[in-house]
């Protein structure tokens, strides 16, 4: 029917009285960047976790390349997570091994995928440190000593090194200074275009969504209230909540 990389429909999940996901559907195509925006508590992180198979929905289905993500078994899902998928956490400390060197962090996915040549792994790590603008001389340093922005760039290098097809990013610039955020967004945009990645990115930042994404999904109280091409949704919002969201950004 379509050449979607990932396809979700009817996703529902409650936490007690809270409907974190309420009949959510979405599609993402190869090479496409989709932004998920919405107020705090609207279900963005929950959606990402359900799509990535980290959490099961109460009902609904997630298909990746035609396969049911929640029915495929943990072993197959983990294999996806360390090869074709990537997950970039808001807090880099959740996505890095802080007591493993920068080189080891970047090399881990290569080794998990079977790389057994130390020199080759190291060369690849150096290449990736350069790509995310970390001085390769710091390859043997512990990420604990890095600034927040560097840690986040390292997490991105570590995630992209195996050239995944689909990357989930949960507010990747969330905890950073505004000046650092802008630089990081530029970097993400360049890498995504260069590698032709499909990306599902959660963000509070409408400007970031406009910069990075092809399409946008607006969430409120567990529902997708509006979705479409970024320019269309942001320039001509249909849903009152989206209108509010866009105008509050303009006002700010």
Partner 1 sequence: MIEAGYNFGYLDENTKRMIRRALLKAVALPGFQVPFGSREMPLPYGWGTGGIQVTASVLGPDDTLKVIDQGADDTTNAVSIRRFFGRVAGVATTEKTEEATVIQTRHRVPEAPLQEGQILVYQVPMPEPLFRLEPRVAETKRMHALADYGLMHVKLYEDIARHGAVTTSYNYPVLVNGRYLMSPSPIPAFDNPKLHRMAALQLFGAGREKRIYAVPPYTDVRSLDFEDHPFVPVRADAACVICGSRSSYLDELIVDDTGKRAFVCSDTDYCASRPPLEEEAA
**Chain positions contacting ligand ATP, by CB under 6 A:** 15, 18, 20, 38, 40-46
The partner in contact with residue 82, picked from Mg ion, ligand ATP, partner 1, none with C-beta cut-offs of 5 to 8 angstroms by kind, is partner 1
Round to whole Å and give the CA distance between 117 and 25: 43
* Helix runs in the chain, H state only: 44-51, 74-81, 92-95, 102-112, 118-131, 148-160, 178-195, 206-212, 230-235, 240-251
The partner in contact with residue 46, picked from Mg ion, ligand ATP, partner 1, none with C-beta cut-offs of 5 to 8 angstroms by kind, is ligand ATP
Residues paired with residue 64 on neighbouring β-strands, in sequence order: 6, 67
* Choice between 82 and 204, CB closer to partner 1: 82
Q: Tokens representing 33?
A: 């960047």
* Choice between 88 and 102, CB closer to Mg ion: 88
By the rule CB under 8 A, 118 interacts with partner 1: yes
User: Minimum CB separation from partner 1 for residue 62, in Å?
Assistant: 20
User: Minimum CB separation from Mg ion for residue 227, in Å?
Assistant: 18
DSSP SS3 for 59: strand
By the rule CB under 5 A, 45 interacts with Mg ion: yes
Which member of 82, 138, 204, 210 binds partner 1 (CB under 8 A)?
82
In which order are the strands placed within the sheet that holds 223-229?
85-88, 166-170, 198-202, 33-38, 215-220, 223-229
From the list 3-11, 117-125, 165-173, 202-210, the region that binds partner 1 by CB under 8 A is: 117-125
Round to whole Å and give the CA distance between 74 and 10: 22
The partner in contact with residue 139, picked from partner 1, ligand ATP, Mg ion, none with C-beta cut-offs of 5 to 8 angstroms by kind, is partner 1
Q: Scanning residues 129 to 158, which ones bind partner 1 (CB under 8 A)?
A: 139-140
Binding mask 89-108 for partner 1 (x = CB under 8 A): --------x--xx-xx--xx
β-pairing verdict for 198-202 and 215-220: unpaired
Place of tokens 């509050």: 248
Which member of 18, 58, 71, 111 binds partner 1 (CB under 8 A)?
111
**What end-to-end distance do the CA atoms of the chain give, in Å?**
42
* Choice between 67 and 140, CB closer to partner 1: 140
Instruction: List, as one string, the DSSP characters of 98-131.
Output: TTS-HHHHHHHHHHHTT---HHHHHHHHHHHHHH
The partner in contact with residue 113, picked from partner 1, Mg ion, ligand ATP, none with C-beta cut-offs of 5 to 8 angstroms by kind, is partner 1
By the rule CB under 5 A, 46 interacts with Mg ion: no
State the number of CA atoms in the 13 A half-sphere of 138 facing the CB: 19
List of residues contacting partner 1 (CB under 8 A): 74-75, 78-79, 82, 97, 100-101, 103-104, 107-109, 111-113, 116-122, 139-140
């Amino acid at each position: 029917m379509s050449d979607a990389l990932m396809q979700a429909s009817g996703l529902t999940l409650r936490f007690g009285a809270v409907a974190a996901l309420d009949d959510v559907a979405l599609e993402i195509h190869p090479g496409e960047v989709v932004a998920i925006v919405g107020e705090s508590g609207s279900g963005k992180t929950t959606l990402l976790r359900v799509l990535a198979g980290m959490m099961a929905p109460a009902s609904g289905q997630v298909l990746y390349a035609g396969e049911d993500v929640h029915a495929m078994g943990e072993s197959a899902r983990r294999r996806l997570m360390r090869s074709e998928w990537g997950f970039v956490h808001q807090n880099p400390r959740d996505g890095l091994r802080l007591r493993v060197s920068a080189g080891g962090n970047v090399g881990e996915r290569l080794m998990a995928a079977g790389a057994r040549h130390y020199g080759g792994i190291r060369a690849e790590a150096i290449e990736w440190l350069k790509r995310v603008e970390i001085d390769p001389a710091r390859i043997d340093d512990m990420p604990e000593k890095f600034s927040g922005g560097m840690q986040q760039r390292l997490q991105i290098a570590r995630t992209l090194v195996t050239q995944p097809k689909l990357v989930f990013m949960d507010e990747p610039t969330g905890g950073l200074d505004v000046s650092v955020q802008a630089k990081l967004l530029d970097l993400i945009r360049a890498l995504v275009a260069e590698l032709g990645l499909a990306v599902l990115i959660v963000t509070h930042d409408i400007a970031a969504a406009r910069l990075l994404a092809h399409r946008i999904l607006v969430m409120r109280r567990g529902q997708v209230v509006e979705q479409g091409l970024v320019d269309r949704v942001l320039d001509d919002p249909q849903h009152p909540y989206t209108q509010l969201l866009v105008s509050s950004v303009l006002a700010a």
